[in-house]
């Protein structure tokens, strides 16, 4: 049985069938839609260039070929690992031999805001369509994006493409800092400014103003008052593990698994919800990356069928904002050193390597997909940092570099 019917859950089911599993298969998901791809939600769907039909992960025919019991629009509310049963929202329960948990993450909300019309989260297709409709309802809509991670950044870019007035707010000094450090964050900040976004970084939201149940503006923690007709809240997310309380599974930052993605006898986890020990980097991780959901689900399906191999990938992530296509392989510790391997930071095309504990642990490309793919091998090989970094003083730390590109 698989709980969570998005990319990780569906890929688990598909891979099990591809590998020859012909036993019973149940796929449970709480969204009313058949499984779809999330990345286009904040890009083509929000911008209005694609309609929802284009992002289906499988056609209805392919889904029925899976020969699985599909329970869509149903949510799992409890798990009993002793009797191997999952409880559903109707109070009924379903038994399993092996359970794969693929319930992803739930976006964080801002206290005291979400009862107001005009305030949006962005995780599901319905979220994206509701936000799109609100952005289009007048040509002079003022948009406030709270949270300058990749999701908020993409939403801001989509709104700017619609020529709307956009303000971005984040308590951190620069966008996407948590993901890739100060250096790249400063470049993303500059990109937003160049594209006409008003940046309010280093400040949070104190309260919202409303009229007749609809948001009209907000007050920032530095006292600034901002008018806003639409507010996008993109302040991170938490693993969807509420339904697993009391199940006896180890729950921390997600469902805690061993290196083979197994959480307990007969229980595995895959995708955004899974935390596991990645032997390649020698550390525990939980990723909210589209490719990982596929790769981890494939690994889980193989392990369910007895392969029992550690899942030790080099993670891949991408984000598109305006004309910047940013892609990254590996991990990006806050205290990593950086070295430019291709192009120039100022030139709009480059690849940088991240070094940590004497090894290359990540590479990030900005409008350089082919070069980045070639340089990925450095992360696969855990190449010695000394082999890519120029000799001092040109080995820059994040701090020095962010100063140099302001």
Of the listed pieces 216-224, 317-325, 360-368, 390-398, which binds ligand FAD according to CB under 6 A?
317-325
CB 303 within 8 A of CB 17: no
| Full DSSP string of 338-391 | EEEEEEEGGGTEEEEEEEETTEEEEEEEES-HHHHHHHTHHHHTT-BGGGTSPS
Q: Binding ligand FAD by CB under 6 A: which of 1, 28, 121, 269?
A: 28
Q: Is 105 in the site for ligand FAD (CB under 6 A)?
A: yes
d(CA 308, CA 137) in angstroms, rounded, equals: 52
Q: Is 42 in the site for ligand FAD (CB under 6 A)?
A: yes
Return the one option of ligand FAD, another protein, none that residue 15 interacts with (CB less than 5 to 8 A, by type).
another protein
Q: Is 103 in the site for ligand FAD (CB under 6 A)?
A: yes
Return the one option of ligand FAD, another protein, none that residue 14 interacts with (CB less than 5 to 8 A, by type).
another protein
- Contacts of 293 by beta carbon, 8 Å cutoff, 6+ apart: 6, 7, 8, 11, 102, 270, 271, 272
Return the one option of another protein, ligand FAD, none that residue 54 interacts with (CB less than 5 to 8 A, by type).
another protein
Q: Is 317 in the site for ligand FAD (CB under 6 A)?
A: yes
| Rg over CA atoms, the chain | 22
Q: Is 303 in the site for another protein (CB under 8 A)?
A: no
Q: Which among 179, 222, 122, 389 has a CA at the least distance from the CA of 187?
A: 179
Return the one option of another protein, ligand FAD, none that residue 30 interacts with (CB less than 5 to 8 A, by type).
ligand FAD
Return the one option of ligand FAD, another protein, none that residue 322 interacts with (CB less than 5 to 8 A, by type).
none
Q: Is 76 in the site for ligand FAD (CB under 6 A)?
A: yes
Q: Which among 115, 23, 33, 82 has a CA at the least distance from the CA of 305?
A: 23
For residue 316 the two structure tokens come to 């891949």
Cα 200 from chain centroid (whole Å): 23
d(CA 240, CA 246) in angstroms, rounded, equals: 14
Q: Which among 169, 61, 158, 176 has a CA at the least distance from the CA of 113?
A: 169
Q: Binding another protein by CB under 8 A: which of 277, 290, 356, 359?
A: 290
Q: Is 48 in the site for another protein (CB under 8 A)?
A: no
Size of the site for ligand FAD (CB under 6 A): 35
Q: Is 54 in the site for another protein (CB under 8 A)?
A: yes
Q: Name residues contacting ligand FAD, limited to 282-301 (CB under 6 A).
A: 288-290, 293
CB 98 within 8 A of CB 2: no
Q: Is 327 in the site for another protein (CB under 8 A)?
A: yes
d(CA 144, CA 123) in angstroms, rounded, equals: 17
Return the one option of ligand FAD, another protein, none that residue 42 interacts with (CB less than 5 to 8 A, by type).
ligand FAD
Q: Using CB under 8 A as the criterion, which residues of the chain lie in contact with another protein when the complex forms?
A: 11, 14-15, 18, 37, 39, 54, 57, 290-291, 294-295, 298, 316, 318, 320, 325, 327, 369-370, 372-373, 376
């Amino acid at each position: 049985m698989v709980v969570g019917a998005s990319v990780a859950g569906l890929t688990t089911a598909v891979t099990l069938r591809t590998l020859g599993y012909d036993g019973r298969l149940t796929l449970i998901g709480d969204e009313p839609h058949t499984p779809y791809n999330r990345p286009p939600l904040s890009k083509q769907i929000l911008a209005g260039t694609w309609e929802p039909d284009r992002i289906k992960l499988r056609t209805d025919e392919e889904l029925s070929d899976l020969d699985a019991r599909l329970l869509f629009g149903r949510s799992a509310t409890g798990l009993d690992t002793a009797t191997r049963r999952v409880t559903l929202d109707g109070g009924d329960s379903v038994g399993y031999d092996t359970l794969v948990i693929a319930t992803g993450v739930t976006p964080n909300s801002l206290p005291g805001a979400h009862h107001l019309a005009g305030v949006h989260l962005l995780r599901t297709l319905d979220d994206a369509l509701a936000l799109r409709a609100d952005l289009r309802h007048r040509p002079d809509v003022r948009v406030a994006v709270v949270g300058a991670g990749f999701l908020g950044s993409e939403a801001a870019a989509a709104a700017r493409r619609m020529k709307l007035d956009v303000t971005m707010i984040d308590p951190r000094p620069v966008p996407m800092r948590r993901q890739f450090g100060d250096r790249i964050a400063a470049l993303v900040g500059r990109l937003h400014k160049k594209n006409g976004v008003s940046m309010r970084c280093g400040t949070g939201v104190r309260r919202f103003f409303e009229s007749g149940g609809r948001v009209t503006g907000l007050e920032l923690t530095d006292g600034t008052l901002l008018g806003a007709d639409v507010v996008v809240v993109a302040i991170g997310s938490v693993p969807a593990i509420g339904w697993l309380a009391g199940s006896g599974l180890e729950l921390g930052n997600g469902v805690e698994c061993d290196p083979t993605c197994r959480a307990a006898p007969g229980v595995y986890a895959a995708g955004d919800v899974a935390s596991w020990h990645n032997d390649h980097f020698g550390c525990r991780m939980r990723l909210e990356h589209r490719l990982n959901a596929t790769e981890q689900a494939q690994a889980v399906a193989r392990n369910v069928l007895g392969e029992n191999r550690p899942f030790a990938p080099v993670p891949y992530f991408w984000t598109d904002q305006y004309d910047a296509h940013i892609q990254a392989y590996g991990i990006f510790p806050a205290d990593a050193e950086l070295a430019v391997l291709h192009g120039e930071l100022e030139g709009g095309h480059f690849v940088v390597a991240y070094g940590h504990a004497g090894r290359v642990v990540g590479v990030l490309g900005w409008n350089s997909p082919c070069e980045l793919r070639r340089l990925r091998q450095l992360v696969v090989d855990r190449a010695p940092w000394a082999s890519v970094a120029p000799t001092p003083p040109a080995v820059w730390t994040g701090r020095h570099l962010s100063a140099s590109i302001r």
